[in-house]
Amino acid sequence: MSLDALYQEIILEHNRKPRNFREMPDANRKVEGHNPLCGDQVTLWLRVDGDRVVDVSFQGLGCAISKASASMMTAAVKGKTVAEAKALADEILAMLIGKLDVEKERQALGSLAALSGVSKFPQRVKCASMAWHALETALDESNPEGAAPEPAR
Amino acid sequence: MTTLKAVAQAQAALASRRADFPLLVKFPELHYLDSAATAQKPAAVLDAMREYYETDYANPHRGAYDLSARSTERYERARKRVAKFLGVRDADTLIFTRGTTESLNLVATAWGRAKVKSGDEIVVTGMEHHANFVPWQQLAIAQGADLRICELTEDGRIDLDRLRALVTPKTRVVAFSHVSNALGTINPVRDIAAVARKVGALVVCDGAQAAPHLALDLDALGVDFYAFSGHKMLGPMGIGVLVGRREILEFMPPYQMGGDMIEFVYDETSTWNVLPHKFEAGTPNVAGAVGLAAACDYLDAIGMAAVRAHEQMLLELAHKMLGEIPGVRIYGPAAVADKSGVVSFTLEGVHPHDLATILDEDGVCVRAGHHCAQPLMRRLKVPATARASVYVYTTAEDVEALGRGVERARGMFG
C-alpha cells in the first residue's frame, strides 16, 4: 500500500485548509474527542434544529489524517438530518476498518472515499475515526445538550 | 594515543555489529531508530536464555535436588554479574523487578507509604516519564503530601536554581531521571543528589535511558535508589533492576507478599526473608536475569566508552542532517555532548504522526507522540514530537535514511 493512497491530494488540501474550523458560540451540542496514544484532540460543535444538523464545526490538534477527516466530516454532515448523519457515521467507520465495499459506494461517498486508504494503515485508523466517533456521541440523544462527556480514563 | 587507537578499533567493530542481531539480519532494509523504546537483541542474549532453559531450568530457591540448585546458582550469578556492570559491590542490594516501572512503584509504595506523611513534600521534575511521575503524584494524593514539580530551562535541562528553591526541609524525596527519555538530556545526578541530601531527602533516580548508554558507578553516584529496565539495554523484556541502599532496603516493608519473600508464616503474622529476597515475591524471572547478564557481557565486550563514542557520532550526524532541513526544530540541549541516545524533533506543518508514517514507508522506525511524558509535552507546548534514538547497532546509514525521509515528508506536505 503506497503512501499516496493515504495522503491523497484532497486529504492534504483539507489538512492545509480545514473547513468549519472554528468555535460555535450558539452550538447546542459539544463533544471532546481524544486519542490518548498520540495526544490528538478534537472539539466538535453542533447546532441541531429539530431533526436537522444545521451547523457543525471543530477545532483541535492533530495529524493530517485526523484533521482532514474532521474537516470532511463537517462538510458532509452539515444540512443532513440526524438519522442521515448517524447512518453516514456508521458507514465511514466501517470503511475505515475495511468493512465497506468502497467501489460499490464510491458515487454515494463522493470525496469521503479518499479516507478509505486509512484502512491499510492500522496504526492510523484511530486518527481518522476520532471525529466520527465524536459525531456519534454528539448525535446521541442521551448525551445532554452542550455537556461534554468525560474522556475515558 | 593507545586510547584513541582503541576507540577507533572499537568503532570499526561497531560497523559490523549488526550481524550479531538476528532481527536486523532478517530485515536488512530496516532502519530501527526506536531503541529508547526498546533495544533489539543480540544472539548472545537469546542463546544464553535458551541455554539456561535447556540446561539448568527448574524453580530456584525451592527444590532440594541438584537441578533446582543449579537454577538458583544461575539466578544469583546473574545478579552478581549485573551488579558488577553497575559498579554495585553489595549484590544483595540489587532487586530484580519487571522493569523500571515496577522498580519505581516499589519505592513509591513500600518506602513512600511508610515515610511520607501529610504536609510533606515530594519533588519531581517537569521532564519525567510517567513511570517516575504518576507513582509520586498518587503517593502525594494518598498521603496528603504536596507534589512539587521542578521546571526546566529553555533547552530542556533541570533548572538547578529552581530545584534549590523548591527543595525545603519538608521535602522527603527527590525523584528524577538520569537521562530524559523524550529529550536525551543527561542530568547532573551528583548535583541534584547534593541538593536533596542537604535536607535529608531520599534520592531516587530513573536510569532507564542511562544504564544502556553510560558507564555507571552506582556506589559512587550518590543516589539512594536507581531503577532501570533490561529490555532497553539488549536484555529481554520483563526483567528490570532496582538498586537501593542497604540500610533503607532493610528498614522498608515488603512491596508484594507471597512465596520466597517470607521467613516464617504464622497464622497471625509473618516475618520477612533477607535481602534481596524480601522484595522478590513469587517465582522470579530467572531466564530474564540470565539474558540481562549476557547483555552486560555483550556491552562490556564493546566497552561503555566505545558505546558512548559511537552514539555521540550518530547524534552529531543526526543533529547536522536535521538541522539543515528548513522547518525542523530539535528539542533539548543543543550540544550533543550533553545528550544521550535521543533526538526529539518536529517538522513545521507536518504532525509527528504523519511524519512517522511517511518514514515507516522507507523502513525508518521512529516514535511519534508524547513519549509517556505528557507533563513535559505541555511544558514544550507541543502535542507530540518525533523521536529518533540510537544504540550500538545503529549505523550512519540509518541516520541518513532518517534525514532523507524527513526531506520527503517536507516535500509531500510543502
Among B252, B267, B300, the domain boundary falls at: B300
List phi, psi (to 5°) of B400: -65, -40
**CB neighbourhood size of B127 (10 A):** 29
pLDDT at A37 over 90: no
Check A3 against B383: CB less than 8 A apart: no
pLDDT number for residue A35:
81
The answer to the question of residue B39 being in a domain is no
Count up the domains in chain B and report the number.
Answer: 2
The answer to the question of residue A40 being in a domain is yes
> Residue B181's domain is classified under what CATH number?
3.40.640.10
| Strand, coil or helix: B228 | strand
On the 0-12 / 13-18 / 19+ scale of CB atoms within 10 A, A152 is exposed
| Mutation choice for B interface testing from A59, A63, A119 by most B CBs within 10 A | A63
The answer to the question of residue A60 being in a domain is yes
What average pLDDT score do residues A50-61 get? 95
Count up the domains in chain A and report the number.
Answer: 1
pLDDT number for residue B23:
98
The answer to the question of residue B40 being in a domain is no
List phi, psi (to 5°) of B35: -70, -20
Which structural domain, as residue segments, surrounds residue B109? 47-300
Q: What does the radius of gyration of chain A's CA atoms come to, in whole angstroms?
A: 14
Among B300, B330, B349, the domain boundary falls at: B300
Residue in this structure with the C-alpha cell 529496565, named with its chain if needed: B229
Nearest CB to B353: which of A2, A38, A41?
Answer: A38
The answer to the question of residue A149 being in a domain is no
Which structural domain, as residue segments, surrounds residue A28? 3-139
The answer to the question of residue B404 being in a domain is yes
Q: CA distances (Å), B247 to each of B90, B225, B275, B281, B284, in order?
A: 12, 12, 11, 20, 23
Residues B151 and B24 in one domain: no
The answer to the question of residue A135 being in a domain is yes
pLDDT number for residue A152:
39
pLDDT number for residue B253:
95
- Is B296 a catalytic site residue? no
Name chain B contacts of A123, Cβ cutoff 8 Å.
357
Residues B191 and B276 in one domain: yes
What average pLDDT score do residues A37-56 get? 91
pLDDT number for residue B414:
76
The answer to the question of residue A152 being in a domain is no
Residues B402 and B315 in one domain: yes
Residues B117 and B105 in one domain: yes
The answer to the question of residue B87 being in a domain is yes
The answer to the question of residue B89 being in a domain is yes
Residues B195 and B287 in one domain: yes
The answer to the question of residue B38 being in a domain is no
Residues B129 and B257 in one domain: yes
Residues B161 and B27 in one domain: no
> Residue A23's domain is classified under what CATH number?
3.90.1010.10
Residues B133 and B260 in one domain: yes
Q: Which of these is catalytic: B150, B205, B365, B372? A: B372
DSSP B326-355: TTEEEES-SSGGGB-SEEEEEETTB-HHHH
The answer to the question of residue A20 being in a domain is yes
**CA pair distance B8, B31, nearest whole angstrom:** 24
For residues A97 and A125, the answer to whether their CB atoms sit within 8 Å is yes
Among B258, B281, B300, the domain boundary falls at: B300
Set of cell numbers at residue B180: 530524559
Interface size between A and B, measured as CB pairs under 8 A = 48
CA neighbours closer than 13 Å in the CB half-sphere of residue B73: 9
Check B354 against A12: CB less than 8 A apart: no
Check A39 against B384: CB less than 8 A apart: yes
Residues B107 and B212 in one domain: yes
| Chain B 366-385, residues with CB within 8 Å of chain A CB atoms | 368-370, 374, 377, 383-384
Q: What is the pLDDT along chain B (414 residues), one digit of tens a residue?
A: 466 776 566 556 766 799 999 999 999 999 999 999 999 999 999 999 999 999 999 999 877 899 999 999 999 999 999 999 999 999 999 999 999 999 999 999 999 999 999 999 999 999 999 999 999 999 999 999 999 999 999 999 999 999 999 999 999 999 999 999 999 999 999 999 999 999 999 999 999 999 999 999 999 999 999 999 999 999 999 999 999 999 999 999 999 999 999 999 999 999 999 999 999 999 999 999 999 999 999 999 999 999 999 999 999 999 999 999 999 999 999 999 999 999 999 999 999 999 999 999 999 999 999 999 999 999 999 889 999 999 999 999 999 999 999 999 999 987
Residues B23 and B129 in one domain: no
Name chain B contacts of A15, Cβ cutoff 8 Å.
413
As for the ipTM of the complex, it is 0.86
For residues B231 and B99, the answer to whether their CB atoms sit within 8 Å is yes
Residues B278 and B310 in one domain: no
**CA pair distance B232, B209, nearest whole angstrom:** 8
Name chain B contacts of A41, Cβ cutoff 8 Å.
383
The answer to the question of residue A28 being in a domain is yes
Residues B103 and B27 in one domain: no
pLDDT number for residue A143:
64
Nearest chain A Cα distance for residue B187, angstroms? 26
Non-local CB neighbours of B21 within 8 Å, separated by 6+ positions: B40, B41, B42, B43, B393
The answer to the question of residue A26 being in a domain is yes
